[in-house]
Amino acid sequence: MATNDSFKRVSLIFGTRPEAIKLCPLALAMRESPGLETHVCVTGQHRQMLDQVLDVFGVVPDADLNLMRPNQTLGELTSRAIAAVDDYLKATRPDLVIVQGDTTTVFCAALCAFYQNIPVGHVEAGLRTFNKWSPFPEEINRVLTTRVTDLHFAPTETARQNLLREDVPDDKVFVTGNTVIDALLLAVDRVRATPPSVAGLPDFLQPRRHGDFDQGPALVLITGHRRENFGDGFENICRAIATLAERFPDTHFVYPVHLNPNVREPVNRLLGPSAGGTIHLIDPLSYLPFVAMMDRATLVLTDSGGVQEEAPSLGKPVLVMRDTTERPEAVEMGTVRLVGTNTQAIVENVATLLTDEKAYAAMANAVNPYGDGKACGRIVEACRTFLNGCGDNA
């Protein structure tokens, strides 16, 4: 149980960069809330990228399980994560465990909390593609996490309805908006006032102070890391980028290449070096430079989940290189379009946005459905109410 009877201990457990981006603002908000003792545990499922985000928000973990190993399988990671998180929870005995999203860390932490009769709060609950293989393994991670969760923090009404259809009690579901918008609004103010430098880019592509972005050339920002795109998917994506670079010689394509060798090998083989000098393969960006590059970009080409939420808040059209998305709200509102990994489809959709002002404006000016930047406050209040209504765990 919590070490101080006048406080309730809340443990936030996360392990990857996207989780850190979405939970660090919540950790900061909880640490300012009276009566809560906030404990941060990181699994290190991602290492370098996780640490960069922690530094940005000034969050120092109370526990670091350091689980990352080169080329580990999902089975190896899962078994080690369950053992390590189980030991952590036995030693810490929080009154509530908070997880976010759909990673292996999320599922393992929620399962371990359940085994120890510790309530679970799930941030970004209720996202679904209804296809267990896409995204893999995220769809199953979040579905299984739902079954052991006590407080479901749904980012949208659509996510809430998904949970209700799965017989989650209505009084356990809270529509909060997405904490990624809380994080983004904090970050964008910083990068617009003091633009960070991005290694590997020429000066004319660097982020500038807000209001100066229209002076630079068109820029397509690209990210890719999904397991389901390994192999043919990334080969097709790279061919599309190469074709677009030839067709639009005045447009620049900036690709921070994920560290996974399944990504780096085809990207470096097919796109580097660019004959025309307009394809820029750079190292992965830490959070603030990435936000600055989204702000600088004309449009974003990605297979990421979080970017589908972030970029529309900055008025950037997003083309998603996946066949399914657990974020249908953005598609319905028109800020996001699914293009898959078909080379021709990617080329045609990017070309339309680069040449058709009306098509571009329709996506850039659409309403972002993912929140107002106040999700953390809503989650803190729900947690406080829940904890005040139940006793310490035995």
- Measured in Å, how far apart are the chain's first and last C-alpha atoms? 7
β-bridge partners, 238: none
**Which residue in the list 19, 124, 295, 309 is annotated as catalytic?**
124
Catalytic residue flag (residue 210): no
**Which residue in the list 80, 93, 190, 225 is annotated as catalytic?**
225
Catalytic residue flag (residue 124): yes
Q: For residue 100, what are its two tokens?
A: 């976010």
Q: How far apart are CA 308 and CA 242, in angstroms?
A: 23
* Rg value, the chain, Cα: 21
Q: How far apart are CA 184 and CA 268, in angstroms?
A: 30
Q: What share of the chain is helix, strand, coil (3-state, %, to 5)?
A: 50, 15, 40
Catalytic residue flag (residue 227): yes
In terms of Cβ atoms closer than 10 Å to its own Cβ (0-12, 13-18, 19+), residue 308 is buried
**Which residue in the list 138, 150, 309, 326 is annotated as catalytic?**
138
Catalytic residue flag (residue 102): yes
Catalytic residue flag (residue 225): yes
**Which residue in the list 9, 46, 47, 102 is annotated as catalytic?**
102
Q: How far apart are CA 340 and CA 320, in angstroms?
A: 7
Q: What values do phi and psi take at 337, rounded to 5?
A: -135, 135
**Which residue in the list 190, 227, 239, 337 is annotated as catalytic?**
227
54-77 CB burial, b ≥16 within 10 A, e <16:
bebbebebebbbebbeeeeeeeeb
Catalytic residue flag (residue 252): no
Q: Is residue 371 within 8 Å of 177, Cβ to Cβ?
A: yes
**Which residue in the list 46, 128, 142, 258 is annotated as catalytic?**
258
Write out the catalytic residue numbers.
102, 124, 138, 225, 227, 258
